[in-house]
Amino acid sequence: MFPRRSGILLHVSSLPGGHGIGDFGESAYDFIEFLAGSGQKIWQVLPLNPTGYGDSPYQCFSAFAGNPLFIDLGALREEGLLPGFATASGPIFPAEHVAYDRVIAFKQELLRQAARTFFADRTEADRPTFDVFCQKNEEWLEDYALFMACKKVFNDTAWVHWDAGIRQRDPAALKEWRNELSPELEFHRFAQFQFFRQWEKVRDRCRRHGISIMGDIPIYVAHDSADVWAHPELFRLDEQGQPTAVAGVPPDYFSATGQLWGNPLYRWDVSASSGHRWWISRCRASLEMFDLVRLDHFRGFEAYWEVPATASTAAEGKWVEGPGAEFFKVLQAELKELPFVAENLGVITPGVERLRNSFGFPGMSLLQFAFGKDPQGPSFRPHNYSRELVAYTGGHDNDTTLGWWTSPGVGESTRTEEDIREEHQFTRAYLGFQNEEVNWIFIRAVLASVANTAMIPLQDALGLGSEARMNLPATVSGNWRWRYRADSLTKEIRERLRALTLLYDR
């Protein structure tokens, strides 16, 4: 399940081309060719669900649905669902970042136009394919479509502010709203149909090149989501549907006051009484989309940081016991193989590691964490790696390696200037370099390590600085926007990466 190999971390939104945001079009296939040409065997993506607040893939309107912004409009044009001028005459978008507001307005209008054409002129071949998709995914698709349709009616306000009948899912209200919003529901079904059809073609190309795709399951879901609206009994909510306790993490490397995520916490006892049915469905859906899955914030399954909903910072929280081994035994009984990678970063206890090891889930290590004063720093150093590990130069919540090295951002974390000087001195001594390209020093270190899996954010392979950072934790705007330029994947980079990959038997 985890043979010796390496790969690239790159979210779909960061692909070039398309119409203002990366998509499942030509640039995705070009990237797959780059992966194959550089000897990589894994493409890791962030959650592919429809983003909501702050454009974060970790705050989505559904844990099951796909993000319609990733649909390739060119493919819709080739199917005859869009006229050629519709995509050719679109606005000029920035090449190196996503302007989400503009992209959403542009693509939503064209997706609606394509849907109208599809339902007006649907061929005999399309009709059964679409119907089969809707039937197969009915369990989540109908709630998601109605949720999104209602959000439009209520001017995108959170579901807790909707009319009482639909907010509380009164059966008569559900029937009435479904009838009234039937055309809008059809649009959302169509968008999901296109998303998954195009994604499957991307996956097929990866399979043909021997490339596995690693997806991502965030442990928590957004409060304003179809999941919480449709299954309120699974979450810690009051009678008005507002969270009574929310998720976060205590003070750490990233923030002196912790991170207050705000996601509603689960009622794990209620989930267990149902045999964790919703979770089984969620994991099954992810395993149908991906070959491997990273379990975000794995430590929350052993114990989670509970913060009162009224708290102003995460520092006011406390640790509470999670569902533990019982949860994974249920998943294993239902799903058999669990090709999970445990994101075990942060405050990790022996109990978390016992849980991870008991199910054979590889953990993670980030080389950027290896050289500072964090008490867990030694565990991130390559001489302490185990084979059952996924070793990264850095992750999507980190600065790029070059940015970390050249503009360490005093004030972003708990490190002082003196801490940073000592960290750099130790890094040079440990990795044995002076002024060489630090990103390639880091890449070589993780590829040379004994860890069976080595992952490199594309920004590090391209040697980009802080301007290419994907996310700065504990901030709510300006994240998830970076895109690479189409001419960035040069022959030199491909061959340099391939040479190291072959050298270290990846």
Do residues 413 and 380 make contact, with C-beta atoms less than 8 angstroms apart? Answer: no
Joined together, the tokens standing for residue 412 give 């972003």
Q: What's the rounded Cα separation, in Å, for the pair 63 and 40?
A: 28
Burial class (CB in 10 A: 0-12, 13-18, 19+), 71: buried
Q: Among residues 142, 343, 399, 423, which one is catalytic?
A: 343
Task: Let me know if 343 is a catalytic residue.
Answer: yes
Catalytic residue, chosen from 397, 399, 423, 460, is: 397
**DSSP code, position 257:** T
Cα angle vertex 472, ends 466, 30, to 5°? 60
For residue 481, what are the CA distances in angstroms to 38, 98, 121, 459, 485?
Answer: 25, 5, 36, 13, 13
DSSP state of 292: E
Q: Please report where in the chains the tokens 């390696």 appear, as a residue.
A: 401
Q: Is 232 in contact with 99 (CB distance < 8 Å)?
A: no
Q: What angle do CA 104, 119, 288 make, to 5 degrees?
A: 65
Dihedral sign (CA 286, 287, 288, 291) = positive
Cα 369 off chain centre by: 21
CA distance 322 to 305: 10
DSSP string, 420-471: HHHHHHHHHHHHT-SSS-HHHHHHHHHHHSS-SEEEEEHHHHHT--GGG---
CA distance 122 to 409: 54
Distance between CA atoms of residues 474 and 261, nearest Å: 8
As a three-state string, the secondary structure of 152-200 is HHCCCCCHHHCCHHHHCCCHHHHHHHHHHCHHHHHHHHHHHHHHHHHHH
Element (H, E) at 88: helix 84-88
Backbone angles phi, psi at 223, to 5 degrees: -60, -45
Place of tokens 């994604």: 199
Considering the candidates 142, 186, 296, 399, report the single residue annotated as catalytic: 296
Nearest Cα to 388, choosing from 311, 450, 466?
450
397 catalytically annotated: yes
| SS3 state at 408 | coil
Pairing of strands 245-249, 5-9: unpaired
Residues 6+ away with beta carbon under 8 Å from 234: 228, 266, 267, 270, 271, 278
224 is a catalytic site residue: no
Q: Would you name the residues annotated as active-site residues? A: 296, 343, 397
